[in-house]
């Protein structure tokens, strides 16, 4: 079942929409959020099939101590739509007499993402977190922007070096393909016009080094020629973009003959 994409205006009516004037907060008492960490500080990468879960850890300060998170949601900063689901649970760990870290878990099955209202792929990029936090003494505070982070489309990358083995000093052709998740049809499609680094690790060496940078063609394919001077492994490395995850292909070992 699809069409689970929701707009903030309908899916989180108790919250104030983001506006050009910046974040909004309102409530009662001295409870405040002092820090929020999404996915332990990393990007959230969503593909086409695997269910993704990640934590949102909210540091809450109040003279009576934090009780719970009573609302937690997240949505794209530019287009206020979201597709992550919160099950309503949170756990609070007290750090001292006034400060606790309360954590909720967000989930998405890629099959939920599609919508008739907007191209779901446009939601990749910067997202914000909204929350309502409650204290033991009844204080509460509603926030519509306590953190920003990136949600990215998952990338795939392949490498194929030929011929194998290759004569020393001969030309070696290294091909590959860069593709990324399409959240509309739940398939991977070639990612054109992207700069991808060809890397080589000589046999016995500890690290790869970049040999050259090649751009993908109009269907995401890569192809270049290099001179084979020693045996070793070849791979492609894509550093990622604001909307698409970084990816390193598996290495393809080539021996000399």
**Residue 17 pLDDT greater than 50, yes or no:** no
Q: Give residue-wise pLDDT tens across range 160-219.
A: 999 999 999 999 999 999 999 999 999 999 999 999 999 999 999 999 999 999 999 999
Quick one: pLDDT at residue 22? 45
User: Which band of pLDDT confidence, cut at 50, 70 and 90, is reported for residue 141?
Assistant: very high
Domain layout of the chain by residue ranges:
6-151, 155-254
* Cα–Cα distance for residue pair 190/196, rounded to 1 Å: 13
Q: Smallest Cα–Cα separation from 33: which of 93, 102, 85? A: 102
Q: Smallest Cα–Cα separation from 82: which of 17, 174, 143? A: 17
**Residue 20 pLDDT greater than 50, yes or no:** no
**Residue 117 pLDDT greater than 90, yes or no:** no
Quick one: pLDDT at residue 118? 85
Q: Which residues pair with 213 in a beta bridge?
A: 197
Hey, what CATH topology would domain 155-254 get? Immunoglobulin-like (2.60.40)
Residue 158 to residues 6, 8, 102, 174, 196: CA-CA distances in angstroms? 35, 38, 40, 10, 11
Choices 2.40.50, 2.70.50, 2.60.40, 1.10.3470: CATH for 6-151 = 2.70.50
Lowest model confidence (mean pLDDT) among 26-30, 197-201, 232-236: 26-30
Q: Smallest Cα–Cα separation from 232: which of 175, 176, 184, 172? A: 172
């Amino acid at each position: 079942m699809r069409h689970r994409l929701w707009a903030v205006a309908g899916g989180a009516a108790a919250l104030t929409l983001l506006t050009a004037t910046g974040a909004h907060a309102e409530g009662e008492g001295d409870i405040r959020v002092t820090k929020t960490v999404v996915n332990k500080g990393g990007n959230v990468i969503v593909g086409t099939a695997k269910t993704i879960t990640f934590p949102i850890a909210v540091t809450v300060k109040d003279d009576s101590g934090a009780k719970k998170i009573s609302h937690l949601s997240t949505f794209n900063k530019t287009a206020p739509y979201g597709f992550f689901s919160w099950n309503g649970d949170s756990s609070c760990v007290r750090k001292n007499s006034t400060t606790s870290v309360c954590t909720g878990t967000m989930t998405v099955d890629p099959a939920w993402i599609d919508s008739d209202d907007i191209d779901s792929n446009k939601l990749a990029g910067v997202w914000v977190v909204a929350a309502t936090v409650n204290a033991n003494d009844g204080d509460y505070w509603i926030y519509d922007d306590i953190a920003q982070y990136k949600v990215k489309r998952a990338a795939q990358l392949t490498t194929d070096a030929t011929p194998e083995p290759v004569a020393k000093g001969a030309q070696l052709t290294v091909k590959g393909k860069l593709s990324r998740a399409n959240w509309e049809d739940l398939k991977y499609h070639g990612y054109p016009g992207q700069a991808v680094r060809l890397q080589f690790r000589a046999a016995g060496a500890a690290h790869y080094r970049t040999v050259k940078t090649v751009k993908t063609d109009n269907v995401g394919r890569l192809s270049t020629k290099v001179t084979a001077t020693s045996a070793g492994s070849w791979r492609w490395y894509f550093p990622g973009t604001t909307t698409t995850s970084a990816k390193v292909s598996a290495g393809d070992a080539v021996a000399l003959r």
